[in-house]
Amino acid sequence: MKKAVMYGCGNIGRGFIGQTFSLSGYEVVFIDVVQDIVDAINRDRRYPVCIISDDGMSESFVENVRAVNGIDVDAAAHEIATADLMATAVGVNALAKITASITKGIALRFQNNNTDPLNIIICENMLGADNYLRELIEKELSSQELKTFLKEKIGFVEASIGRMVPIQTDDTKRGNPLRVCVESYDELPVDEEAFKGEIPSLKNLKPFTPFSFYIKRKLFVHNMGHATAAYLGRLKNYTYIYEAIRDKEIEATVRRAMTESARALIKEYDVPEEELCEHVSDLISRFGNRGLKDTVLRVGGDPIRKLSEDDRMAGAIRECLSNGIEPRNICMGMAAGTLFTAQSDPSAVEVQSRIKREGIEAFLSGHSKVPKELINVIIEMRDALKVEI
């Protein structure tokens, strides 16, 4: 049986990519630093995944799994050196922390004359995640021979992760720390041109080029719309995303904002308008999934990152402007984002502290790099939203 290494044993690792690997006939080896999860996987050698919707839930088990602790660099490197396929889902901020194991695994492949290509499917919410991870690893390689091996045999394949997996609670785990509850959506778009050798046969894999279209669709349509629903929902004291999106005013703004981004992508990539309009409607429906119980605080959390220059809000604004689309409703989402408060979220506390200290205009121009012509528009929207609170 072929072996796939899944670096990251969290919601996406277990609830989507690990499951996809298993259903596609691979033994799945998870690498993670949470010892309790590693032990539970090695004890059970399977774990449950629940598909949840407004109509209820259905459960199945992911089989042929085991795990190693990533703190043991040698053990992690051995698994990578002998893998047929690999993926990461650790979060952008943690990529630099896993490069030692990956680098050592690649060096072991070279030393053992394993010339089979290793493709790493990168499941992180980041523009240019492929180049970022490649550069991190290349810096750690000790010889030109290894760098040549990296270039010729290791594929860095961006993926667009559309499946929504909320934070797992004691209620959703129901006594099993491995149980993951997810929505049914399971399409996996990947960068067709990034693979080395043959493209692996994986369930619901969708190779596509130019892949920047899917990266932008995920970030500037899906993620932006999701965050806009969260920020507007927070202002109305909603707890769950499904509550916010079922508010007619919020739903209308979110739909218009997502349509603005969609129109920009239609112009840039010359994709069928009907296809993206259907995608927007599908996402709105999926945001309304009561069964997910996805919270406004989770989806809106970490606003320092989500309001930054290249992320979902400011990035979508510039994407629209560069394609001649007025991003008025995205600006409304950005305005609401600058009002997002949550004492339990250090990032949200930092945003409010910086706005109080620097002023909103300096924050938008300095941190978010919002184009000058839209700064006053966002400030006016922000002032109007403050009045409504």
Question: Each residue's pLDDT tens digit in the chain (389 positions)?
Answer: 999 999 999 999 999 999 999 999 999 999 999 999 999 999 999 999 999 988 888 999 999 999 999 999 999 999 999 999 999 999 988 999 999 999 999 999 999 999 999 999 999 978 789 999 999 999 999 899 999 999 999 999 999 999 998 878 887 888 899 999 999 999 999 999 999 999 999 999 999 999 999 999 999 999 999 999 999 999 999 999 999 999 999 999 999 999 999 999 999 999 999 999 999 999 999 999 998 999 999 999 999 999 999 999 999 999 999 999 999 999 999 999 999 999 999 999 999 999 999 999 999 999 999 999 999 999 999 999 987 76
Task: Specify the pLDDT at position 169.
Answer: 82
The answer to whether residues 200 and 259 belong to one domain is: no
For 18-127, strand residue ranges (E) read 27-32, 46-53, 56-63, 65-69, 85-88, 118-122
Task: Specify the pLDDT at position 64.
Answer: 97
The residues near 263 (Cβ < 8 Å, ≥ 6 apart) are: 320, 323, 325
For 115-162, strand residue ranges (E) read 118-122, 154-158
Phi, psi of 160 (to 5 degrees): -110, 110
The answer to whether residues 216 and 199 belong to one domain is: no
Query: How many structural domains are present in the chain?
Result: 2
Task: Specify the pLDDT at position 175.
Answer: 85
Provide the domain limits for residue 193.
Answer: 3-208
Tokens of 143: 């010889």
Global pTM? 0.87
Separation between Cα atoms, residue 189 and residue 199, nearest integer Å: 12
The answer to whether residues 191 and 258 belong to one domain is: no
For the chain, the straight-line distance linking the first and the last C-alpha, in angstroms and rounded, comes to 58
**In the listed set 182, 208, 234, which residue is the last one of a domain according to the structure?**
208
The answer to whether residues 121 and 63 belong to one domain is: yes
Residue among 16, 25, 86 at smallest CA distance from 51:
16
Q: Residue 279 corresponds to which amino acid?
A: H
The answer to whether residues 261 and 199 belong to one domain is: no
Residue among 299, 308, 312, 296 at smallest CA distance from 350:
308
Task: Specify the pLDDT at position 280.
Answer: 98
Separation between Cα atoms, residue 38 and residue 26, nearest integer Å: 18
